[in-house]
Amino acid sequence: MDEKVEKIKQWLGSGSINIFGLPMSGKDTVGKRLATLLGGEFLSSGDIIRDYELRQNDHMTENGELIPTNKFYDIVLPHFYTEALVDKPLVLSSIGRWEGEEDEVMKYTKDSGHEIKAVIYLKLKEEDVRNRWAAAKELGDRGLRGDDADPAVFETRIEEFHEKTEPVLKHYNKLNLLLEVDASGTRDEVFDNVMNALSML
C-alpha cells in the first residue's frame, strides 16, 4: 500500500480528485480516508451546504433536490481559495453535481492550484443503495439528516443523481478523467478498488 500511496502522491501533487456516486455509495467514507492517506484535505459539497443551511436557517436541500447552480457557485466554490488548502492535494465529494457546473468547478480548481486530475464514480446498484440506507437508518449512524428520515426524500436524491449528475460524469468521461470503481463490497474492499484504480494512472 505504501508504494501505491507514494505513486499517487507524486502523480496528484496539489491537484484534486472528485468522487461521485449515488447516495450511500461511500463517497465521504472513501474521500476522508483517501485525503488522510495522501496528506491532503477533504471537501464535501454536502457538508459545506448543510453548514450554510444551519448558519442561515435555510432549508434548500430538505426535499432532496440539488441547490440552484448560482447558489452552489456562491456557497461552495470560494472554498477552493481557503488559505489552509494552499499547496495541498484535495479529495472532493461530489462537488459540481448539476450538468454544466463541472466547467466552473474545473476552472476554480485549476485557478486555485488544485486542478482536477481524476474523477471517481463509485458504482452501486439502486437495490444496494436502498439496502444500505435501510441498514443505516436502523442503526442510526448517519445523523438526523432529512434524507435519512424520509424515504421519499431519499428517492428524490436518487432521481436527482440520474437526471442531473449522470450527465456530469459523461462529460468527465469525454475528458478521459473518469474512473468507474465497484462500490458493492465492504468499506475496505471499495477503498482498495479506488487505490488500485488511482495507482494505474
The pLDDT assigned to 102 comes to 96
The pLDDT assigned to 61 comes to 87
Q: What is the DSSP letter of 66?
A: P
Residue 123: strand, helix, or coil: strand
Q: What is the DSSP letter of 165?
A: I
Return the CATH fold of 2-199.
Answer: Rossmann fold (3.40.50)
Grid look-up 465492504 returns 186
Strands 16-21 and 116-123: parallel
The pLDDT assigned to 59 comes to 86
- Could you give the CA distance from residue 119 to residue 17 in angstroms, rounded to a whole number? 6
150 φ/ψ sector (left φ>0, alpha ψ -120 to 50, else beta) = beta
- Could you give the CA distance from residue 103 to residue 101 in angstroms, rounded to a whole number? 5
Query: Which stretch of DSSP H or E encloses residue 172?
Result: helix 166-174
Q: In Å, how far are 7, 61, 173, 180, 188 from 168, measured between CA atoms?
A: 28, 20, 9, 14, 27
Closest C-alpha among 72, 27, 22 to residue 187: 27
The pLDDT assigned to 144 comes to 43
- For residue 168, the tally of other CB atoms under 10 A from its CB is 25
The pLDDT assigned to 133 comes to 87
- Could you give the CA distance from residue 151 to residue 135 in angstroms, rounded to a whole number? 13
Q: Report mean pLDDT in 10-residue bins for the chain, 201 residues.
A: 90 98 95 97 94 90 91 96 96 96 97 98 96 81 58 92 97 98 96 96 89
The pLDDT assigned to 22 comes to 96
The pLDDT assigned to 142 comes to 54
The pLDDT assigned to 139 comes to 73
